[in-house]
């Protein structure tokens, strides 16, 4: 499950940033390493919301800075959705 989320996140980050999936690791910092700016941060969030059918809070947008952080946030939101 988590591995699938990770794969989907990497695909999204690759599309938005232009970097190849193999260049993106769970710890890659989107802002520092992939030159993701504020509009791309929003674009990543919009793509995540669409893909996983979840709603990310505005204040969490800047917190999605690595694949690992994205996976944790999405897992939590999906878990809460079940309840």
Partner 1 sequence: MEKPDKDAYDAIIIGAGMSGLVCGCYLAKAGLKVLMAEQHHKPGGYCTSFRRGRFTFDAAAHSFGGYAHGNLGKIFKDLGIDNKINIKQHDPSNVITSPDHTVSFWADIDKTIDVFQSVFPKDADNIKRFFNFLTEPDSMSFARIRSWTFKDLLDKYFTNDRIQAMLSFPLYGNGALPPSRMSAFIGARIFKEFLLDGGYHPAGGMQVLSDALAAIFKEAGGDLRLSTAVKKITTKNSEVSGVVLEKGGFVPSLYVISNSDARRTFLTLLGKNNVEQDLKDRMARMVPSLSTFIVYLGVDQAATTLPVSGVNYWYLSQYDLSTAYLSAKKGDFRDMGRYLVHVSPDRSTVIAFMNAPYGSKRYWETNRIVLSDRLIKAVEANTIPGLSKYIVYKETATPRTLQRYTLNHAGSAYGWESTPFQLADPDFRKPSFIRGLYLTGHWTTHGLGIPGVAYVGYDTARMVLRKKTHNCQKMLN
Per CB under 8 A, 46 contacts partner 1? yes
**Of 38 and 76, which has the nearer Cβ to partner 1?**
38
Per CB under 8 A, 54 contacts partner 1? no
Q: How far apart are CA 21 and CA 56, in angstroms?
A: 23
C-alpha separations of 28 from 3, 6, 59, 65, 82 in Å:
16, 13, 21, 8, 30
Alpha helices by DSSP H, listed for the chain, are 2-17, 30-33, 38-52, 67-82
Residue pair 61/41 in contact (Cβ under 8 Å)? The answer is yes
Per CB under 8 A, 59 contacts partner 1? yes
Which region among 1-9, 31-39, 69-77 touches partner 1 (by CB under 8 A)?
31-39
Which region among 2-10, 19-27, 67-75 touches partner 1 (by CB under 8 A)?
19-27
Kindly list the residues in this chain that would bind partner 1 in the complex (CB under 8 A).
Answer: 12, 15-20, 23, 31, 35, 37-43, 45-47, 50, 58-59, 61-62
């Amino acid at each position: 499950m988590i591995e699938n989320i990770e794969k989907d996140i990497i695909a999204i980050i690759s599309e938005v940033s232009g970097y190849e999936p193999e260049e993106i690791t769970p710890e890659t910092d989107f802002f520092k390493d992939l030159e993701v700016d504020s509009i791309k941060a929003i674009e990543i969030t919009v793509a995540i919301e669409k893909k996983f059918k979840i709603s990310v809070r505005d204040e969490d947008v800047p917190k999605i800075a690595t694949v690992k952080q994205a996976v944790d946030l999405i897992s939590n939101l999906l878990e809460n959705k079940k309840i």
